[in-house]
Amino acid sequence: MPGVKSLHQDSENSGKGEYIRGHHFGYAGILVGRPEKSFCLPLHGQIHEGVGARRHDIKIGGDPTIVTRMANLVIRTAEDTGFPCYVALDAYFSTGPAFLTFKEAVNEKGEQSVHLITRAKNNYVGYLVPENSSEKKFQEKDKVSLAKVFGFSEWFGETEVMISGNLRTVRYFTWDLFWKPVRDIIRFVFIIDGDDRYILMCSDLTLSGGQIITIYCYRPKVENMFRTLKHLIGGFCYHFWTKAFPDVGRGEKIWLCRLSETERKKFDLTLEAIERFVNLSGIALGLLQYLSLTRGSEVLEKYEGWLRTASSDCPSEGVVRSVIQAEFLSSSCKVPADRTLRMIRGRGRETSSDLAA
């Protein structure tokens, strides 16, 4: 199977291996719904490692890396939507290349298409903005260690932000500082949430600290989307193999240039099949989310299961899928059975009436 790589994952679960073999997917999604119930709607997913020699879609950011591939994927998705947006990424993307890649992407009006909001690492430093533009930048006396800012608690104010559908009070302090990797001003937001301390970075200097915190608090929706796509939809349960891909041992490298033209075409078709399968699964998940947001009350009325607590009037994707399955199987007996319908029926569970017959 092409594109498979050794991937490292940090997890507190001892049942998970530190290294696994698999595909590294990047996915861009858009936030939909309401503050009390929202989803990450999957828009575009692609493999980001193991396919560099066969993919030439990096237009901005120089050499292709995981960071620049993800940034370009977000930029293309934002351009397809037709309006500027903000992207919330984890601390892995709090790098100079990520900010610079997004900075280079501008629309017809000369505005930045995508602004990045990410979590800073504790060892980062910034520099005070000089009052006189003729002064040298990045002088040692102007250096600010970001982690030490939390020692000045009197600088922090309070605000209420929506976190996971709940209104919570946090303390924060906003500071615009020069950041060397981009040689530009970045807005840093220092947050105290109970015993937790963390720092956010934003490329848009017009956003308030509260707005930056609110946007970043929706980032876990991406993780929920991946979990639902994997376990509920089966979006990664694909088995697309090609004999054109040679057998390799552990640690061996494949030189695609040594493959024949026919083998390279089969290689590309296999990658295309994998990405199409995952993106079609994303469409299926998006349909479940749409029905949850627009037909939530109807879905809950027809749901035959038992919910311990009803968090909102918008059911989960799992509840919507359960209702659709029941409706489809009950109505499928009323229409002529073609080949596709017979295949679906054959994979369904046997009911008591089927066993009695």
User: What pTM was estimated for this model as a whole?
Assistant: 0.84
Contact 178/138 with Cβ under 8 angstroms? yes
For 167-209, write each residue's pLDDT tens digit: 889 999 999 999 999 999 999 999 999 889 999 999 999 999 9
For 56-98, write each residue's pLDDT tens digit: 555 565 668 889 999 999 999 998 888 889 999 999 999 999 9
The per-residue DSSP string of 163-184 comes to: ETTEEEEEEEEEEEEEETTTTE
Q: What CA–CA distance (Å, rounded) separates 173 from 159?
A: 10
Instruction: Give the SS3 label for residue 199.
Output: strand
Q: Is 238 a residue whose pLDDT tops 50?
A: yes
Contact 158/150 with Cβ under 8 angstroms? no
Q: What CA–CA distance (Å, rounded) separates 43 from 78?
A: 10
**So where are the chain's domains?**
5-229, 238-349
* DSSP code, position 112: B
Q: At what angle do helices 317-332 and 339-347 cross, to 10 degrees?
A: 120
Q: What CA–CA distance (Å, rounded) separates 65 from 102?
A: 14
Residue 58 sits at φ, ψ, to 5 deg, of -90, 105
5-229 under CATH 3.30.250, yes or no: no
Residue-level pLDDT at 355: 37
Tokens of 38: 């929202």
Residue-level pLDDT at 129: 82
Q: What CA–CA distance (Å, rounded) separates 93 from 74?
A: 13
For 93-132, write each residue's pLDDT tens digit: 999 999 999 999 888 888 899 999 999 998 999 999 877 6
